[in-house]
Structure 1
């Protein structure tokens, strides 16, 4: 009976984490919409969700550490709980990235609306896809799906590099729009960081399911 109860607690822990993941995805999507549409009401909604994410992070951590201390799990159950703790931190950071983007939307509020030669919505869509796929891999315990997230990371890194280069050039040639360009650079950087957190989540899913650490393997492959 105690073992059955332990498995039920693991399911409850996973459900808590998935609920937090939904909040993080919602916050990022709304922050990007707030930036694109200059919608200040959406900014406030993002800040409210971020507060809920912070509270959820504490709740998930408390439950995970409690299970580690009381149940002393072994093998795959231990890997799952350790992965939950790490994924929990990455989800909280995605919430922070969403808040940063919403702050850039607010910073643009009193500035003239201009067209910049970068596609922030496309970058946001790719980052969102990475996060959704990583969470789906977590939900389904699918290491192969998680691996597909790792392969997307280079693309969004390159998009961020191009955005930075394009907007630095804009700032040099048109100083009067430097504030808008700088805000776009910060948004791009936060989307790239959110994608990095999706990659971290995918790596933790692979660790949980297979018991293998792929972080250094992929970094070495990229170096080659």
Structure 2
């Protein structure tokens, strides 16, 4: 039984890595479509979402089958439970990337509107948070996971600055209100992706320590 469980766990590991790679690419492409006006990338993000949806269902079904067949305990049980949660978060991140791409298409109808310079760094920070959270999960690295959680403050700061800038644009030029609202929504979607990356990092800590850290302050000195 243990041999079969190990084999299935290895396949599950490969499947979640494959899904995470697609989702990371979707975030990056959605960000580029917004910052660079690359509507071709926006369309690719929207098309990729179907792949993510299909694989999210497949991974969940595999997890449930493993629970039923192998009755895992301890670390194996925590890993399968964590994969189920991470899998769901990745699907939600993909949906948010689609939302960003759709807003980028909306912004494209207003060539006079200039995307703020700070959007690029925000996209980069959010993408890195997702990547680092997934690495922390795969490598069972609680220190890296806690660094991801602490990094969410920077995204929140950028989010607040960009929203303030967009409000000023809407107050000074009524013809750019719709474009600014599209950008506003895209930024909020990026901020939500960062929140989900934080969720994945928290799940990585749970996987290693069996400790639920949601709604609690996290410090690096307490890692491991």
Query: Do they fold alike, i.e. is TM over 0.5?
Result: yes
- The alignment of Structure 1 onto Structure 2 pairs a total of residues equal to 218
Answering whether residue 88 of structure 2 is matched by residue 89 of structure 1, we say yes
> TM-score of the superposition, structure 2-length normalised?
0.93
Gapped runs of 5+ residues in structure 1?
A: 220-224
Answering whether residue 176 of structure 2 is matched by residue 177 of structure 1, we say yes
Deviations 1:153-201 (A, max 9, x none): 1111121122112211210121111122111111110110111110000
Matches of 1:82 and 1:155 in 2, distance apart?
Answer: 29
Matches of 1:124 and 1:59 in 2, distance apart?
Answer: 29
Provide the residue aligned with 1:204 in structure 2. Answer: 203
Equivalent positions of 1:71-150 (< 5 A) are 71-117=70-116, 119-150=118-149
Deviations 1:6-38 (A, max 9, x none): 011111111111111111100111111111222
> TM-score of the superposition, structure 1-length normalised?
0.93
Deviations 1:41-85 (A, max 9, x none): 212211121110001100110000111111111111111111000
Gapped runs of 5+ residues in structure 2?
A: 219-224
RMSD across aligned C-alpha pairs, in angstroms? Answer: 1.3
Distance 1:155 1:16, change over 3 A: same
SS at match of 2:217: helix
SS at match of 2:216: helix
Provide the residue aligned with 1:195 in structure 2. Answer: 194
* Structure 1 residue runs of 4 or more that deviate by more than 3 Å after TM superposition: none
Matches of 1:42 and 1:150 in 2, distance apart?
Answer: 29
